[in-house]
Amino acid sequence: MKLGFLTACLPSLSLDDIAGWAAAEGYQTLEVAVWPSTGGRDFEASHLPVATFSEADEDATRALLRRTGLEISSLAYYENNLHPDPATREAIRTHLRHVIDVAARLGVESVGTFIGRDPGLSVVENLREGEKILPELVGYAADRGVKIVIENCVMEGWHPDGYPGNLAYSPELWEWMFGLGFYLNWDPSHLTWIGVDPLTTIEPYIDRIVHTQAKDVELFPAKRDRFGLFGTVHKGNNPWEMGWWRYRVPGLGEVDWRHVVDRFHELGYTGTVSVEHEDPVWSGTEDKVKQGLRIAHRTLRPLIGEQTATERDIPAP
């Protein structure tokens, strides 16, 4: 098992700068964000130019990994693969193929994305649509030795009423997507706020958990008593505002990381535990984001295991 983080939390830094800092702080892997450089949402980041990835880019990336001793655990492009607009859906699929191609060239095991949803259709109607169009993407990746991992994020902000916008939020739906050939990027924070005990979901699906995102969640039950599970109706300009919970870095929320990582050890999980930093308390500046990543590292590193001598001896940039 190795400890890493998703680079999307540092969108203004280059991959070189992020890798140098990560290695000096004792991280072992990077889950590299590869949205298009024209991405519109504030959490999108483009740390590898996958659409135009040249031999020079490949050589530079391999040299960076050798220099820092890091590995790339996965390439991250989390978008709506069931987007209702045909042109947008095809643009997403085209970029996802570029991501898969670069993962294959770099020997990266997995690519992360979402199932997504057409909010104008029912869940069952979306499942039938997914069965028609998603297997082609799974096959494209498999032909190149790459697994597509789906994060179980609810993506409630993609639905006008705050309902699930990514049809991978429950174990019932995981079983559906596993039948199409997808794997799981397991994130306990989302399970926690929708009322699923994360610990109960590890052993039954351990063979499909290829990657793990380490994110915590802080709950405010008194506010939930007013808003209900789906959160406040009046969200202002923030479609992600739920009113009764917020994401935190590991160790500052409800997730029992001691038992989560112990269960991973017990079941022989050897993938990456990748910190996904979306903590509003430790955000706003580069220094605060980095401090949040340090808090996550201090929480998880003792549970995952001690650094090797090689890792400790990697020089700071």
**pLDDT for 167-180, tens place per residue?**
999 999 999 999 99
| C-alpha to C-alpha distance for 311 and 184, rounded to whole angstroms | 28
pLDDT in tens, 52-103: 999 999 999 999 999 999 999 999 999 999 999 999 999 999 999 999 999 9
| C-alpha to C-alpha distance for 36 and 100, rounded to whole angstroms | 14
What residues contact residue 195 under an 8 Å CB cut-off, 6+ apart? Answer: 229
- Which parts of the chain have pLDDT scores under 70? 38-43, 306-317
pTM, to two decimals: 0.94
Residue 40's pLDDT is 47
Q: Are 47 and 14 in contact (CB under 8 A)?
A: yes
Residue 305's pLDDT is 86
The H-or-E segment that residue 93 falls in is helix 86-106
What residues contact residue 186 under an 8 Å CB cut-off, 6+ apart? Answer: 152, 201, 202, 205, 209, 211, 212, 213
- Is 196 exposed, middle or buried (CB count within 10 Å of its CB: 0-12, 13-18, 19+)? middle
Residue 107's pLDDT is 98
220: left (phi over 0), alpha (psi -120 to 50) or beta: beta
Residue 307's pLDDT is 58
Give me the CATH code for the 2-312 domain, please: 3.20.20.150
Residue 43's pLDDT is 52
pLDDT in tens, 99-114: 999 999 999 999 999 9
Residue 147's pLDDT is 98
The number of helix segments (H) and strand segments (E) in the chain equals: 11, 10
Residue 281's pLDDT is 97
Instruction: Domain ranges for the chain, please list them.
Output: 2-312
Residue 167's pLDDT is 96
Residue 251's pLDDT is 96
CA 70 to chain centre: 18
